Structure 1
Amino acid sequence: AGGLQFPSTMFRMAGVDTERAMAVSRDEMHALLERAVADGYELPRTAGGIYSVREGIVHLNITRVKVDGRSPDPFDPASLSRAESEGRRQARRYLEVFRRYVPGYERAFILDTGAELGVRETRRIVGAHVMTTEEVIGERKFDDAIAPSCWPIEEHGAGRSTRWVWMSPGGYCQIPYRALLPRGPENLLVAGRCLSATHEAQAALRITANCFSMGQAAGIAAAMAGDGRVADVDVPALQRALAAAGAVLAPRPEAAVDA
């Protein structure tokens, strides 16, 4: 578990002056939280995802949970239990810091925390194709593509920062069907963060939207296989079925966003 990305406990604050809070830029937030660290607060991250879709409520993805300095062992219930407790301790610590340092949070309180720890990485299969860093950043396309991915490498390592490696503006790679097919076991498909990819490539491919896309592709492929083998599914037919269901395998160039 030592080399795994660190998980996060998601939580929401209510009682927030969202107009003032959302006016704080990412750089300003980083500076405010670094000031808190300099004042003695132990914060695992000083940047993160902070969103609001309802007045007075803010969602935060900013904790980084460690057990004995390492990512918790996802196969050890005791380690995960300690991680769940640590994540909630961190949420309370961030509440104190946000109330003291960040505009708009003076009367904030914790509304709720995620039902479970947000785990970014556990075991991965070795599949018929293993996605690599070069394929992700090089925006590789595949004949057996079942989903596009535009997310950068987002690696949650040991320090307070998160490592980002970006694609070109509007760029994307594709996830091949073969990355869902494990070597060895017959008639098995996987979908989600356990796809066939290197540690670094998985840091880009594991995001929620991609997991949805992989799950959709795996489900349709399993139905198409019927009593046959999932490895023998007609991939062009699978791609047509995905397209008919609304999936987009190759985003239009005009949809690209200028960074």
Structure 2
Amino acid sequence: MPPNSLAQLVDRLVRTVGEDLPLWIESVSIAGSYARDEHDEHSDLDLFFLIAPGSDATVDHAADILIDWAGDVVLRRGPVLVPHFGYSITAVLADLSVCQMNVNTRETIELNPMRSASRLVLDRNGYMTSLVAQSKSMLIDISKVYHEHYCYFWIRALYAFRSAQRGELWRAIEYLADMRKAMQQIIRIQHGRYSPVVGPYHPAKRYEEQMGADGARILEFSQPAYSRQSILQSILKSVEWFIRETQDTAHFPIEPDMRGSAEKIERVVRGGV
């Protein structure tokens, strides 16, 4: 494909309304930055395909057909099942642009608030139109999400600490990266920028836009050098930051038992550094 192949792929989809796709493709929708008209030269393209009920097409067969349909694919991964999203196929095109294609059947597709921003291109039977409408009406319990990331952080902190103590440094760095993800989400929630979102919260953009440069920069301390002591120090600094940032429980109260467990993990980390 020539340069700007993703934009051409979108144009082709919209112009033909999927006429060059098999009839067993029931619906096609665009998600992500191309759906929001916020894409740039570094964006990938997210496409969602639904296999019609009663079709003999398997996910593997659909993946092969869609790879051929996408054009000059030089690198492919999948299909890989991604929880809550369906089977994912990643296609790298000749100009190194990336097209992410998700394939579902009616049995595997789920309601998801992130589908609310989908741009429907093809919907032969109206099923996806209904699903998107239902997704728009879903409410997100931000308090529940906050608690989920709170617990995730502390579990990963424990894993990171134990891996570092064993000398499994790469594993410890991986768990530290997971801690960082939870830290980012806590910042986003505190600033009302969590996504997938409905209601008063804003749609997702990029982390830098959501958190601001200062908000992103304060997490630099969680990037360790490749040494056991540096990793342990990064874990400790992350734990101290997290304790400090989640002290205010006015909006997101933490149960005493949960907070007690977090403080116990903090003491273990502090004693091992």
TM-score, normalized by length of structure 1?
Answer: 0.33
Higher helix share: 2
TM-score, normalized by length of structure 2?
Answer: 0.32
Which of the pair has more CA radius of gyration? 2
